[in-house]
Structure 1
């Protein structure tokens, strides 16, 4: 058998050779014998050449599967997960959102468990317990999303519909946000956690250890640790650690997630330090722009969605603590708006009524608010 010799292709090393290349090597020392496509030698050797070519191609694929970065880039996600598992990093799976709704109705009216409630967009939840309306005409019950994922998160008042009417029940609403529904951890986020663990020296309870412990908790999207942070303790901050987190949707973390991170760190940390876990604070960015667009092809709602999508993606990519954006550039936002599908020109941009760059504090999280535009 002709040995497989690794060769350089462009800037990468590759095992692959075509069947024709293998055949040329096999017949390179044969003289005075017909080796053309219709010869007996061709018919005898070419099947082996095809198999050798296929196996050399598979060898190239093996090199892509061995390393975490190349496994991610080439879609070998099972191999990426296995590589991460070797380092004790398990992909975080989607969670089911839960919350509480307020029920209004006639005194002593009953809303049973398992009742369907929903938002105006048709996102559905099930009540988790029977409720009897009290003497004030209200009652409360927990709800659980019909499925897993972040699409079941809801703002205050979104859960307002009762598709099936129940006697004596007037209405339902959620008085607090539902924000504990998370999607499966993306493979990019999993890879970043892998890099964080292998490239930062997490030893003996140093700051990287606290960051890694926080990132292990389902629902945490990014984290940073600040040692010696509480200078008011009279010891120049010794023995204190602050951990700042966002949730997996790169929004402010809720109380339940903060407690889950705190409890996990308390189980893992060395004896001694006083740990404080807080959420990054959301800095809402309201954008106003003057644009030109083809109104015959695009309507204003479609255009607003296109702009919101591209700006939101930019902000999400820039919130990873501690490498997050230090400021929001007016010029960058303008360029993003100009690149949105349907926008022909963008002549001015303001953020929160300001035309200068917006600084982002270490504990702040830039979040897109309202997008408004004037048409020129």
Structure 2
């Protein structure tokens, strides 16, 4: 906005107001008298441009964007703590019960035991907020002494931890309040409220799915995969607790009977014949190829809530695989044994199954 208000341009404008009968060359008395003020003005215009950027949601960042969003009742979501499932065994390989509050480490972050699920099975909550709590699977090391403990294993992600909401995500939610009218239990209202619950990535809202007053909420988790039964139960309890449905005890309005369900994962097997560059083998590129296909499936999953249904396309899989280092060409691509694209139903997302290379 103020790009032209540079020191040079300000000096030129100021000197233009000085009569030509006065020496205006650099180093002259009048030049040296004006220059300090012009430099300060140039700095002020730079600062003014920064302030203008901070004042509007499309350019504001960090704290400024947080405050701007709060004007419309949109609050930045804080980082949350992952809830995991742990298995504990004694020296004979049997299940071992351990005290609640016991702490374990994966070598990077710590976890605290909060609830018993079954014999030798417990809920653990990460002590560090964010997605880092979702990442590790494997052996745990006790921080506290536990008599009889021989093995501790960190397994399922029950409720994914989430990082603090990014500027772009917050900005998108801010603009969403301007574009959609979320009110009194309409589709936009349900979707907005469900997305704010820990572990939820997005949701599809199906109104009157089982008659008047019924609402179905289909979830995808914040890792863009099929949510765990524990997350589904958690969201159900937040929205419309079982045993009190329709009574307005949760977030749902009085009279709305809400059923929360998980998105369905459809396994997609992929086969093809790859031509690899010199020095590369299938074993060397296999994981990168799988990750490339997974990234495509994640992109599809992120668009699921806004799409009537997802279509897994052969061409998109081939494009992703061809971007893998060491892959020169791809041919004969099939998904689930066929060469045609696969159209999923409205409440399904793709999950990668077996990946086969014809030359392997």
Question: TM-score normalised to the size of structure 2?
Answer: 0.79
What's the offset of the Cα at 1:321? Answer: 4.2
Task: Report the 3-state secondary structure (helix = DSSP H, G, I; strand = E; otherwise coil) of the residue aligned with 1:249.
Answer: coil
Select between 287-296 and 269-278 the one with higher mean Cα deviation: 287-296
Q: 2 CA distance for matches of 1:40 and 1:359?
A: 78
Distance 1:16 1:260 in 2: 56
How far did 1:323 drift? 1.7
Residue pairs, 1:150-229, within 5 angstroms? 150-153=131-134, 158-160=137-139, 162=141, 168-173=148-153, 176-229=156-209
Q: 1:285 pairs with 257, 263, 268, which one?
A: 268
Distance 2:320 2:12 in 1: 53
150 and 48 in structure 1: CA distance in 2 versus 1, 3 angstrom threshold = same
Deviations 1:208-252 (A, max 9, x none): 11111112222221122121212xxxxxx3211112221211122
From the superposition, tell whether residues 109 and 309 of structure 1 become closer, same or farther in structure 2 (CA, over 3 Å): closer
* Contact preservation (8 Å) 1:123, 1:152: no
For residues 1-376 of structure 1, the aligned pairs below 5 Å read 13-14=1-2, 16-30=4-18, 31-71=20-60, 76-105=61-90, 106=92, 114=102, 116=104, 118=106, 125-126=110-111, 128=113, 139-153=120-134, 158-160=137-139, 162=141, 168-173=148-153, 176-230=156-210, 237-266=211-240, 267-296=250-279, 303-318=285-300, 319-324=302-307, 326-374=310-358
Cα 1:79–1:161 change in 2 (3 A) is: closer
> Unmatched 5+ residue regions in structure 1?
1-12, 231-236
Distance 1:99 1:35, change over 3 A: same
Give the 3-state SS of the residue equivalent to 1:84 in structure 2.
Answer: helix
Name which of structure 1's ranges 32-41 and 254-263 shifts more when overlaid on structure 2.
Answer: 254-263
1:153-182: CA deviations, max 9, x gaps? 379xx4345579976444344675544333
Query: Once structures 1 and 2 are overlaid, which stretch shifts more, 269-278 or 183-192?
Result: 183-192
Structure 2: how far apart are the matches of 1:344 and 1:124? 40
- Matched residue pairs, number? 343
Secondary structure (helix, strand or coil) at the match of 1:208 reads helix
Structure 2: stretches of 5+ with no match in the other structure: 241-249
Alpha-carbon distance in structure 2 between the residues aligned to 1:83 and 1:369: 44
Corresponding residue for 1:7? Answer: none
Which range moved further: 356-365 or 27-36? 27-36
**TM-score, normalisation: structure 1:** 0.76
Mapped partners of 1:259, 1:321: distance in 2: 21
- 8 Å Cα contact 1:281-1:363 kept in structure 2: yes
Q: Which moved more, 1:140-149 or 1:84-93?
A: 140-149
How large is the Cα RMSD of the aligned pairs? 3.5
